Amino acid sequence: MDIDKIFSAIWEGKEWIFSGIGVVALGFIGKCIIGKKSGENSDTYTVKSKMHDNNNVLGGNNITGKKNQIIQNDNSNAISVKGNGNVAGNGNNITNNFIYPNNDNNLKENADSWFSERFNVLLSLLNDARGFFEKEYTVEYVSSLIGLKNVDELKVYLNQGKEPEDEFKKKFVDVFGVNEEWMVHGRGEFPFASNIKFSYDNPMDILRREDLKVINKFIVVIGDVEGRRHACIIRKRDELCYELYPKYFVLNSHVGGAGTRQLVGLYRFLREADRIKKLAGVVYDASEEQMEKLMKGEFQPKKVEQFKVASNFFDSFMCISEKEIERNKSFGDEEFILVQQIIAANIKDCDRINQEYDLKLIKKNLGEDFQDKEEESNDIDLFDSSTPL
């Protein structure tokens, strides 16, 4: 019965309106009408229900929110919650916009997950960064790279929309260097945001503190950040795993005392990494946009190998004698020369204070195998080929 019919019926029996029963009845009708209108015009609502086979709410919970959509997936007890409102319940938890009762862990495992979406993004970024002659990354190829005996061990999660255990997802982190928070927990915006915890300003702290045995090469990328030249350093563990140190290192002359120490530290890092044969043969030159995306983790760091090569940068940069700097003036720009002059003026004191201790740490981090090779190399250098056998 609509509102007009209700008022018509009341008017026809107007004799009883002012009786005691009439006043009570009118009060009840008014309350219903006001409640109905309020419900239509309000974004906020409260629902109390129990979970059955329909699309209701789990576990006798209250759900209060604004413009939320409550959707149950077919054949699943989990409920998707979409909207900006709040969800409150008795003993329920929310993961990836799904409500799960805390007393049933199996429901969480069987609910639709975001793993397949994250995997497809990872696959796309791996292929975007691969070299021209490198094998394409497919589900089958990736499953073999992370050590699975059968591709079905991966496909079951992709095809059935299941969320793997954390240990399974960590395989991708270990093999490809993808961000752990993003891959394992579904948090964060950028798939290749660095996992490395590095809070130091001096690049030499990389050589002082890293297990150098597991690092194949260090790759250096230079480019502008907010209009001034900086450098980034990537550690390459193998052909699959490239990881960025989350730090811009100064490579310009607009420095004070701390910046000067960082410049000298970068020079010493390049010199020592090259000495122990851990430095990649080329330096890459990035645009300001590429530097920003690299630091954020928008692409796999391996992609820098597609960037423009900074021709002769290393050879020119490392030449800091007065004569060599004078010669570089014919080829390098003024800013480059100023940076070299700052390094040349401070390198001797820094080496005098730190070099002996740094070499001991580097040797320790390289392990016994490197020490044996170094001794063998020294023996060859001392050997005089003119000596008769």
Across 223-228, average pLDDT: 97
So what's the pLDDT on residue 161?
A: 86
**pLDDT at position 328:** 85
pLDDT at 89 over 50: no
Residue 42, pLDDT > 80, answer no
Q: Is the pLDDT of residue 88 over 60?
A: no
The predicted model scores a pTM of: 0.69
Query: How does pLDDT run across 134-158, given as a tens digit for each residue?
Result: 999 999 999 999 999 999 999 999 9
Q: Can you read off the two tokens belonging to residue 127?
A: 């292929």
Express each pLDDT in 203-213 by its tens digit. 999 999 999 99
pLDDT at 25: 57
Question: Does 28 score more than 60 pLDDT?
Answer: no
